A and B are shown apart, each in its own frame.
Chain A
Amino acid sequence: MEYILKNGIVYDPINEVNGEKKDVMFKDGKIVDNVSDSAKVLDVTDKLVMPAGVDVHCHLAGPKLCLGRLYRPEDERRGVKPKTDITRAETGFSIPSCPATGYRYSRMGYGTVVEAAVPPLEAKHTHEEIIAIPNIDIPTLPLFGNNWFVLQFVKEGNIEDLAAFVSAWLKITKGYGVKLVNPCGSEAWGWGMNVHGIDDPAPYWDVTAREVIRGLAEANEMLGLPHSIHVHPNDLGHPGNFPTTLNTIDCMKDIKKNSEYRNQTIHLTHAQFHCYDGTSWRDVTSGVEPVADYINKHDHVTMDMGQVTLDETTTMTADGPMEYDLYELTGLKWANKDIELETASGLVPFIYSGRNPVHSLQWAIGLELALTIKDTWKVALTTDSPNAGPFIRYPRVISWLMSNQRRMEMMDNKEVHSWAARKSSLATLDRDYDFYDIATITRAGPSKIYGFEDRGHLGVGALADIAVYDLEPNNFDPSINAAAVEQAFGNALYTIKDGEVLVKDGEIVKVVSSRHVWSNVQGFEDEEKRVIEQIMPMFNKYYTVKFENYKVHDHYAEPSCEYKINASK
């Protein structure tokens, strides 16, 4: 099938297209430079056209999500929608059911969403959920930062075996990249403890976060993985944590990058939660300045926002001890799930409110980060969904970034507490993002960060993943129309995935299966085999499942989108 998307105003930062009126043509799911006369015409004259969105960090499928859904029926009954002839019923607000997740991303014009934390032992579960989520491609990031084998290899300084282990485990879990969450801290949570800073060793292991981060980064670059290590640093959400954040990214500055497409060697995720100054919740202030300053001066790090949206939501993270701290703070129902030899995790419902000083400061810090980091290619839009807010609020976050007027209005009207203005520099930042910037932080940048050469742009040969929004950039000023921006980005005029129209006028018109996106490293097979043999006695003794039943069998990851990676040893 051939299509021509006519006369849209196109923003395609990877190809440096900045608001040009042009046609976008695609055939058989790919962007092409010409089509025959029989091509179907979609007239989008003067409408906003971008590559489909790419989300660098979301929690949308897997055991934590499922636990959240299972234990929060009061959230599930929010957002209930009956089935239609095309779609199944929807449930959930902060933790929507799988079908609802796919529909809602699709309606916002997204095409690819990364599931940011997968415990390898339960990776099958994540893939089962991906099968139930329609309309988006989903790469997954298995958790490595507290894995016992990783801790052992790091302790031995054995980077080559660590790389082989990572390579093997990406195959076993059908994973895309390497995730670290509170390295050593989640292992400490196995004893109800935590670590503080990157030089505090995990109990009994005598290994520090610094060693784990550097070890996994070296292994990551040895394999030449398309994405860098993806790091949730220690001390998340603690007042005064910004030095830990700085130490985390700074300890990486001499690691040599082994990828031509991406620029970074470390991706700092949900940075908002990691930029606090002060010593307690009473005297907490923004710690954005030093972190943003560092990122502005160094090119080896990218970040995503983790923007607080001021909603009632569900926090969930592999950072088990942090969730217990949160439970002690709120008293709301605490769930926890520790995974043998691999990780911890926890969940607590959370009510962010603009009346609350701390939440308002958190809201300000996320925006402050995005507005003070100069190079938008280093910034990605996220809410660490659902932690700082559900992903359906992305359009609102876009409207805040595009309008200083709206931000000032919120601070002036007391929609947020005065701490937002008093304890951060947000009120002094009059920068407005334009559509090119938005396209950069929601599609182009994220795909660069992930090394997706085939998406996030509209060049010839790219996947025909396209979003059209009901805004006319040449006749519209987003800086004074926040509500209209939010409305438009929340209800795509068209969402096109692999050349098929899935959304029209904000409604789902077609449902397709999501693909499981994973990295298949080539050239490390012998090392993988040797390492698996080497660790098997420990595996058999301390896991409670057999290795044969541990892996994600191929049929759990269909349809798959496999990237073959040539490891350069």
Chain B
Amino acid sequence: MGYEEPVTDYDKIVENCTCAFCGSNCDDLDCLVKDNHVVAVRHACRLGASKIMEDEDQRLKVPMMRNENGELVEVEWETALDAAAELIANSVRPLFYGWSETSIEAMKPGLELTELVGAVIDNQATICHGPTVQAVQNVGYPLMTLGEVKNRADMVVYTGSNPMNAHPRHLSRYTTFPKGWFRKRGRYDRTLVTWDPKYSDTAKLSDIWIPFEENGDYEFVNAIRAVLKGKKLKKDVIAGIPTEDIYELTEKMKNTQFGALFFGLGLTHTLSKQRNIDIAIQLVQDLNKYTKWVLLPMRGHFNVNGFNIFMSYEMGFPYGVDFCRGYPRYMIGETTTIDLLNRKEADVFLVIAADPGAHFPSGANMHLVDIPVIQIDIHWGPTTELADIVLPGTFIGVETAGTSYRMDSVPLNMKKAIDPPETCREDEWIVTELLNRVKKIKEASK
């Protein structure tokens, strides 16, 4: 990678934009705009910058429906919206999935539509940090905003996540490198620890690397907790880690002044699933007897946490909420997307701002082949190949303003920098249109 000349040819700078990529929601981006295109992004990481600048790449620009030959062809907005509304209004087990890359403003009519037709509404948490939410529900949630870590933390632990690749500015903007009020020397005032079977890029930067064995997370944390309670460990090696290392680490964690534990899908999706998080949370709770510890899940999409928050305050449950009986129900494994698809229950699938085609297990995707799929998105992706109706949205945080919640639940108003393509419509508008059309159909059939 060679040196790139700074971009100087631009019309205007839009400052303090919020990045619409990962859950770090960096809100310090300066978008350089020329001819209604973002030609450069200052402060963003490569992931964020490329997503923002390459907004036109494989862009869905017009509404489409699948014709009798099975090809997606352009149709009028009216036609596509009416067809989608008809499918939704007549379904018995509709499932509305996605929402993590759109705004709270778009979720509102989405929930209203869900309540109206008695659908299941769910987001990407169901395939990522759902186990985290379950663990939180079981044992609690000692967390903080990221600035607490920046200003106070002298020990930062990452486990089951590799922020250097997945949340590239997490260390530099929030946790490890910045100079904080009580950590005037930034990185030099902190101990960085990675627990991970892999020697990840984050592990390479760390002062301590604990490579516990795969699926060994629960056992490893259980051993630390036993040591905290004064137990002498029996085995020489636990979950792949020599016991003396466990003693040493425990001692360090007890004697730090402010510790922060960040965890990712490496913890949520190994053998013990939510129990890995469950026991990690309890470890942090235990450590607070000695000193200050907090934790935070490394949320992926920029508004995946926002959906969980939105659903909690609107309807009391964070994700996988089933309204088929006229009131909300929440039961992991029963009202959650993958289960409903694997069991072939869903009969219409609306997907907004998500790519199940790329992320779902094949069994679930097999069912999507068999049922009508309505896609609201900005890019052509594997899901488009499964879709029967495609409704092109706009890019939140670049083309359309909206609210999102950072991984630590700090709410942000994401600005817009450029205008959307004329043929696209805002997510909020599309969902509201669907809602109004379904209302009409329901009223007519009364």
Contacts and interface: CB of A to CB of B under 8 A. Distances in A.
Nearest to B289: A328
B26 to A, nearest CB: 9
Contact of A191 (B145, B292, B403): B292
A89 B321 CA distance: 12
A82 B148 contact: no
B18 interface: yes
Contacts of B288: 192, 324
Interface stretch (B190-198, B309-317, B419-427): B309-317
Contact of A66 (B313, B410, B413): B313
A122 B412 CA distance: 9
Contact of B147 (A69, A125, A543): A543
A334 interface: yes
Given A81-B327, A327-B285, A336 B142 contact: yes
A340 B146 contact: yes
B415 to A, nearest CB: 8
A545 B292 contact: no
Given A122-B411, A334-B285, A335-B141, A544 B328 contact: no
Interface stretch (A46-54, A95-103, A210-218, A427-435): A95-103
Interface in A230-273: none
Contact of B292 (A73, A192, A546): A192
B315 A97 contact: yes
Contact of A71 (B136, B291, B294, B326): B136
B147 A341 contact: yes
Interface in A86-129: 88-92, 95-100, 121-122, 124-125, 128-129
Contacts of A549: 16, 18, 27, 412-413
A338 interface: yes
A260 B104 CA distance: 42
Interface in B406-442: 409-413
Given A191-B258, A549-B16, A71 B313 contact: no
A546 B147 contact: no
Contacts of A355: none
A542 B151 contact: yes
Contact of B327 (A82, A333, A556): A82
B302 interface: no
B112 to A, nearest CB: 9
Given A80-B328, A549-B27, A553-B413, A542 B181 contact: yes
Contacts of A100: 316
Residue among A72, A148, A192, A340 with the highest chain B CB neighbour number at 10 A: A340
Nearest to B330: A73
Contact of A337 (B144, B147, B308): B144
Contacts of B115: 83, 88-89
Give the bracket for the number of chain B residues in contact with chain A: 35 or more
Interface string A450-462: 0000000000000
Contacts of B328: 80, 89, 91
B51 to A, nearest CB: 19
B30 to A, nearest CB: 10
B326 A338 contact: no
A71 B410 CA distance: 17
B411 to A, nearest CB: 4
Contact of A97 (B145, B150, B152, B316): B316
Contacts of A132: 313-314
B325 A91 contact: no
A334 B140 contact: yes
A544 B325 CA distance: 43
Interface string A64-77: 01110111111011
Given A191-B292, A542-B147, A546-B16, A73 B317 contact: yes
Given A80-B327, A333-B138, A548 B145 contact: no
Residue among A66, A96, A341 with the highest chain B CB neighbour number at 10 A: A66
A226 B180 CA distance: 37
A286 B137 CA distance: 35
A328 B409 CA distance: 26
B313 A89 contact: no
Interface in A175-234: 189-192, 204
B282 to A, nearest CB: 10
Nearest to A127: B411
B150 A544 contact: yes
B315 A335 contact: no
A131 to B, nearest CB: 9
A119 to B, nearest CB: 9
A410 interface: no
Contacts of A92: 316
Interface in A26-72: 61, 63, 65-67, 69-72
B158 interface: no
Contacts of B325: 82
Given A83-B326, A542-B180, A70 B150 contact: no
Contacts of B56: none
Contact of A128 (B104, B142, B144, B323): B104
B316 A96 contact: yes
A339 interface: yes
Interface in B298-338: 308-309, 312-318, 323, 325-328, 330
A463 B374 CA distance: 48
B410 A121 contact: yes
A128 B413 CA distance: 11
Contacts of B292: 189-192
B219 interface: no
Nearest to A335: B141
A191 B257 contact: yes
Interface string A500-530: 0000000000000000000000000000000
A74 to B, nearest CB: 8
A190 B309 contact: no
Contacts of A82: 325-327
A543 B330 CA distance: 36
B54 interface: no
Given A69-B313, A97-B313, A337 B152 contact: no
B199 interface: no
Interface in B380-423: 403, 405, 409-413
Contact of A545 (B137, B148, B182, B410): B410
B370 interface: no
A321 to B, nearest CB: 10
12 contacts: A70-B137, A70-B312, A73-B330, A83-B326, A91-B317, A98-B313, A125-B409, A132-B314, A333-B138, A340-B146, A544-B410, A548-B16
Interface of A: 61, 63, 65-67, 69-74, 76-77, 80-83, 88-92, 95-100, 121-122, 124-125, 128-129, 132, 148, 189-192, 204, 324, 327-328, 333-341, 348, 541-546, 548-549, 553, 556
Given A128-B403, A334-B140, 9 more contacts: A69-B317, A77-B330, A81-B327, A97-B316, A100-B316, A190-B258, A192-B291, A192-B293, A544-B410
Q: Which 5 pairs from chain A and chain B are nearest by CB?
A: A340-B147, A91-B316, A76-B316, A192-B292, A333-B140
Interface of B: 15-16, 18, 27-28, 104, 115, 133, 136-148, 150-152, 173-174, 179-182, 257-258, 285, 288-289, 291-294, 308-309, 312-318, 323, 325-328, 330, 403, 405, 409-413
